[in-house]
Amino acid sequence: MSGEIDRVEKGVAHEDAGAPLTEAPASPPALDFGGAWDYAPAPEATDHVHIAPRQQLFVGGRWVAARSGRHFDTVSPGTEEKLAEVAEADARDVDDAVQAARLAYDRYWSKMRASDRAKCLFRIARAIQEKARELAIVESMDGGKPIKESRDVDVPLAAAHFFYHAGWADKLDHAFQGRAWRPLGVAGQIIPWNFPLLMAAWKIAPALACGNTVVLKPAETTPLTALLLARIVEEAELPPGVVNVVTGPGATGAALAAHGGVDKVAFTGSTAVGKTLQRALAGTGKKLTLELGGKGAHVVFADAPIDQAIEGIVQGIYLNQGQVCCAGSRLLVEESVHDLVVRKLEDRIATLRVGDPLDKNTDVGAIHSRTQLDKIRRLVAAGEEEGAQRHTAPCALPTRGYFFAPTFFTGVASSSRIAREEIFGPVLAVTTFRTPEEAIEKANNTMYGLSAGVWTDKGAKILWMAQHLKAGVVWANTYGKLDPSSPFGGIKESGFGREGGRQGLLEYTEVE
Amino acid sequence: MSTGPAAPARTPAPGALEAFDPAARVPVNKAYKMYVGGAFVRSESGRYFQSRAQQAKVEGGADPEVVNLPRGSRKDVRDAVLAARNVGEGWAARTAYNRGQILYRLAEVMESRRAELCASLERAGREAEQALREVERAVDRTVYYAGFCDKYQALLASFNPVAGPYFAFSMPGPMGVVAILAPERPALLGLVSTVLPVVVAGNTSVVVAGSEDARTAMVWCECLATSDLPGGVVNVLTGRAGELALHLAAHREVAAVDAWSDDPALRAEVEREGSGSVKRVRTHGPDETRQMGSDAGQGLAFIERFLETKSLWHPVGR
């Protein structure tokens, strides 16, 4: 009986914690600096970066115009200014690229010593490091992500991926427990706009390490860093045709995937396109890797280190404006700490600096495109219509460019669109749970299964949760960490295959 | 009313009438049923079929015995998937050691039923010596996989040396419900070779037995039923592969499909159907099926195909 009284008393205490700030000594008020801590603009200098006004395709080691002679614009989402015109490859250009890749495979890449292939990859890794700042600036200009992220996350990780896989090239006999393996041939790789250079590295590095040659199709809206990478490949003096880059819209990617000379297709992008691709490849015998959408659940238990969890939550959903397939876009909070977490989250997002992607102080940059911004707005409106309570950071947004203030919803029903659909924006859906079992049920109640997060101080609970969460990656007391040595990829409709680690090599080899 | 093929008339072959001995004992024939959720069931559709090898025998007049087998339906597929899904968590949660013990028990049961398995293969047209070899190989393969239950993890998991203060590792885990379109031949070894690696990996399965000798598949199910394998871990349906495989490939609770078929059109169709829910679909043509009898028909790769890698990160600190 005394236990029950205890519970009641705790319940009262908890209600106090959820009351307005001034009346809750257990929950200190947020620090308020007034206007004293405004940041002066700190733009990254771009004068040393030259973007050629007209970009060509990289095919067979040469820079060529599209056969159609057509071009399309690539625009900076931070300023809405045109950055360059990019060649629009059609099926003929794709055919040229695939043939060049095949020739390079037959004539050079499959005949070279593995240790020499490794050294080619090491050269690329080094060159990425040498050109790191240029790559970061162009990445932020073309894609809208904060320079802080492109400089400290995307570019270093891209270099790390080449370093990591370079080392595998001459050690593959150890990778498959003594089983015989062979490369697949020509890989057609189609990548998205949210991590343009990093995804190019994730695709190209393991493919080349395993002895394949590649044709890469960057996203229509973010082709510039992939073309800079092609320049690095050229300067690293890889044999012509080992890496080819064809730019263009979805149709270019479709032509690449459908090409009869392609042995392997690797795609990162939306689940809808992934399904279409899988269907189109049925019966062709081509090996396929799909890295698709997600609706990552972030589970916060009452015994978690709450302040650290808040940082993890913010990293998980506002990194790259939430345009991340493994974003922690659903927050499940144990009921007893819900009000505290919401309060702290509200305080935290009020400090995020939204604006110029090239400003070194910017935390949240530009949404990738007008289309994406419209989609985010539509889903946020749907969230409000469905009765969820909206919390948006009180920040001023730039008048030009595509921006959306960090936002989260509380009181979200599991059935609502913002809880089920991948928003791909800085929008978080918060719900509560009472038991670990309920947390698991809610977390797994999605067609996706890419990533999940757990915050608790109890080791056994972490491992129990990790066992039961249906996701390809589980971050415990951290979130969103990536590394070339750690396999990444999803289950269910988040796709199949892994990228990174020994396991990722399986996607680019045929193993007995 | 059955929509299955018309049953051949039980007309004795010429000369058979004279050989009929009125004093001989009339043997009791067995009705063969599908194996779902640990129980032997008829098709809810009431449909049946007679396997092709059986019909050939009847037409040749050498063996007038007719075996009717249930022709499974879409509803049977759904029931079987439900049975497989419901026991999935329990099967995966058993210790690897326990799964190994259960599979070894299955090998013991198969060995003790060697004569029955051989007889079934022979009745479907296999030469006696070949039948014996197939059964022995199937038993040995079962022992092989029994011993793999607690080994593949060590071979496929990894400690990931990430560049930061994190303890990061990746572990293989089951995909869930795996649908298997078993090869037509070899009837027994084909089943054992495709089903066991899937369940060794902690998955549960819904299997469509090859229709040429589906009876042998049902005899094997009696081995499963009398081993310690929990009901629902392996569910075996009989019927038309083309019909059942597509229902399985389209079913959202099915995580993966392993289709062994000589028909390229069916393999492509299964791959297409599977794309609607991003299924892991593996298809195998006759070249691979032919290797079933050799050591190439078993191995780590068979287990690895239906495993999913999960990576776990945790900070390291004081």
pLDDT per position in chain A (512 positions), as tens?
A: 343 433 333 333 344 444 444 444 456 667 676 666 678 899 999 999 999 999 999 999 999 999 999 999 999 999 999 999 999 999 999 999 999 999 999 999 999 999 999 999 999 999 999 999 999 999 999 999 999 999 999 999 999 999 999 999 999 999 998 899 999 999 999 999 999 999 999 999 999 999 999 999 999 999 999 999 999 999 999 999 999 999 999 999 999 999 999 999 999 999 999 999 999 999 999 999 999 999 999 999 999 999 999 999 999 999 999 999 999 999 999 999 999 999 999 999 999 999 999 999 999 999 999 999 999 999 999 999 999 999 999 999 999 999 999 999 999 999 999 999 999 999 999 999 999 999 999 999 999 999 999 999 999 999 999 999 999 999 999 999 999 999 999 999 999 999 999 999 999 999 98
- The predicted-structure confidence for A385-433, as pLDDT tens digits, reads as follows 999 999 999 999 999 999 999 999 999 999 999 999 999 999 999 999 9
To the nearest whole Å, the CA of A276 is away from the closest chain B CA by: 7
A67 and A194 co-located in one domain: yes
Written as six digits, the tokens of A442 are: 């809610």
CA distance B301 to chain A (A): 7
In a domain, A73, yes or no: yes
Q: What's the CA gap between B152 and B160, in Å, rounded?
A: 18
Q: How far is A11 from chain B (nearest CA, A)?
A: 32
Same domain, A114 and A239: yes
- Three-state DSSP class for A122? helix
Q: What is the structure's pLDDT at B17?
A: 60
Mutate to test the interface with B, among A444, A447, A456, A483 (most CBs of B within 10 A): A483
Q: Give domain status of residue A500, yes or no.
A: yes
For residue A152 the two structure tokens come to 């400290």
Does A45 fall in a domain? no
Consecutive H or E run containing A462:
helix A459-468
Q: Do B274 and A278 touch (CB under 8 A)?
A: yes
Subunit contact A474:B277, Cβ cutoff 8 A: no
Q: What is the pLDDT of residue A275?
A: 98
Place of tokens 């393999």: B267
Residue whose C-alpha is closest to residue B142's, from B188, B186, B106, B98: B106
pLDDT at B279 exceeding the cut of 80: yes
Q: State residue A292's pLDDT score.
A: 97
Range of the domain at A454: 294-476
Active site residues per annotation of A: 291, 325
- Give the model's pLDDT for residue A27: 60
Indicate if A428 and A322 belong to the same structural domain: yes
Kindly state whether residue A337 falls inside one of the protein's structural domains: yes
d(Cα B168, Cα B161) in Å, to the nearest integer?
7
Per CB distance under 8 Å, which residues of A are interface residues toward B? 160, 177, 179, 271, 274-276, 278-279, 281-283, 290, 292, 447, 462, 466, 471-478, 481, 483, 485-489, 491-496, 498, 501-503, 506, 511-512
| pLDDT reported for residue A23 | 44
Do residue A374 and residue A394 come from a single domain?
A: yes
Kindly list the residues from chain A whose CB atom is less than 8 angstroms away from the CB atom of residue B161: 485
Nearest CA of chain B to the CA of A177: how many Å? 7
Binary contact (B162, A485; C-beta < 8 A): yes
Nearest CA-CA distance, residue A374 and chain B, Å: 27
Alpha carbon A159 to its chain's center: 16
Over residues B226-254, the mean pLDDT reads 97
Question: Does the residue A16 lie in any domain?
Answer: no
CB A307 within 8 A of CB A340: no
Residue of chain A whose Cα is closest to the Cα of B154: A177
Find the closest chain B residue to A486 by CA distance: B160
**Best residue in A445, A448, A496 to probe B by mutation, most B CBs within 10 Å?**
A496
DSSP-assigned letter for residue A449: -
pLDDT of A22 reads: 43
**pLDDT for residue B55:** 56
3-state secondary structure of A212: coil
Q: Which residues of B touch A447 (CB under 8 A)?
A: 277
Q: How many CB pairs under 8 A join A and B?
A: 118
Cβ contact, residue pair A495, B274, below 8 Å? no
Q: For the domain that residue A444 is a member of, what is the CATH number? A: 3.40.309.10
- By C-alpha distance, the chain B residue nearest A181 is B301
Phi, psi dihedrals of residue B291, rounded to the nearest 5°: -85, -5
- B64-68 LR contacts (CB < 8 Å, sep 24+): B64/B10, B64/B12, B64/B13, B64/B16, B65/B29, B65/B123, B66/B7, B66/B8, B66/B10, B67/B29, B67/B32, B67/B215, B68/B7, B68/B31, B68/B32
Domains of chain B, each with CATH number or no CATH = 74-315 (3.40.605.10)
Q: Quote the CA–CA distance of A98 and A309 in Å, as a whole number.
A: 47
Least confident of A446-450, B8-12, B88-92: B8-12
Of B162, B175, B308, the CB nearest to A486: B162
CB-based contact A474 B312, cutoff 8 Å: yes
Q: Do B301 and A511 touch (CB under 8 A)?
A: yes
Helix-helix angle A155-168:A196-209, to 10 degrees: 0
Inspect the interface and report whether the beta carbons of B162 and A481 lie closer than 8 Å: yes
CA gap B51, B134 in Å, rounded: 20
CATH of the domain at A249: 3.40.605.10
Instruction: State residue B111's pLDDT score.
Output: 98
- Partner-chain contact A278 B314, CB within 8 Å: no
pLDDT of A398: 95
Predicted local confidence at residue B250, as pLDDT: 97
B277: chain A residues, CB-CB within 8 Å: 447, 493
Do residue A202 and residue A59 come from a single domain? yes
Model confidence pLDDT, tens digit, residues B283-317: 999 999 999 999 999 999 999 999 999 999 999 99
- Chain A interface test: which of B94, B153, B170 (most A C-beta within 10 Å): B170
Q: Please indicate, yes or no, if residue A15 is contained in any of the structural domains.
A: no
Query: Residue A329's closest CA among A163, A481, A451, A242?
Result: A451
Check whether residue A355 and residue A285 sit in a common domain.
Answer: no
Q: A141 and A179 share a domain?
A: yes
Interface predicted TM-score of the whole assembly (ipTM), two decimals: 0.92
Taking residues B82-96, what's their average pLDDT? 97
- Amino acid (one-letter) located at A228: L
* pLDDT tens track for B15-73: 556 677 889 898 888 899 999 999 999 999 999 998 765 555 545 545 546 789 999 99
Closest CA of chain A from B209, distance in Å: 22
**Nearest-CA residue of chain B relative to A456?**
B314
What Cα–Cα distance (Å) separates residue A61 from each residue in A111, A202, A212, B87? 18, 21, 16, 55
Dist. CA B253–CA B248, nearest whole Å = 9
Under an 8 Å CB criterion, which residues of B touch A? Answer: 155-156, 158, 160-164, 166, 168, 170, 175, 255, 264-265, 267-269, 271-272, 274-278, 280, 296, 299-301, 304, 308-315
CA B252, B218, B65, B292 dihedral sign is positive
B14 pLDDT higher than 70 = no
Q: Are A350 and A385 in contact (CB under 8 A)?
A: no
Does residue A482 lie within any of the structural domains? no
Of A160, A472, A475, the CB nearest to B309: A472
B313–A473: do the CB atoms touch at under 8 Å? yes
Closest residue on chain A to B288 (Cα): A512
Q: Quick one: A330 and A454 in the same domain?
A: yes
The verdict on a CB contact (< 8 Å) between B170 and A501 is yes
Question: Are B276 and A481 within 8 A, CB to CB?
Answer: no
B160 sits in the region (left: phi over 0; alpha: psi -120 to 50; else beta) called beta
Report CB contact under 8 Å: A477, B280.
no
Number of domains in chain A: 2
Same domain, A272 and A373: no
Coil/strand/helix, residue B81: helix
- Find the length of chain B: 318
**Is A145 in the same domain as A157?**
yes
Tell me, rounded to whole angstroms, the distance of Cα B63 from its chain centroid: 27
Beta-carbon separation of B160 and A282 below 8 A: no
- Considering the domain architecture, whether residues A134 and A278 belong to the same structural domain is answered as yes
When CB atoms are compared, the residue of A282, A483, A501 closest to B275 is: A282
Query: Do A101 and A248 reside in the same domain of the chain?
Result: yes
pTM of full prediction above 0.90: yes
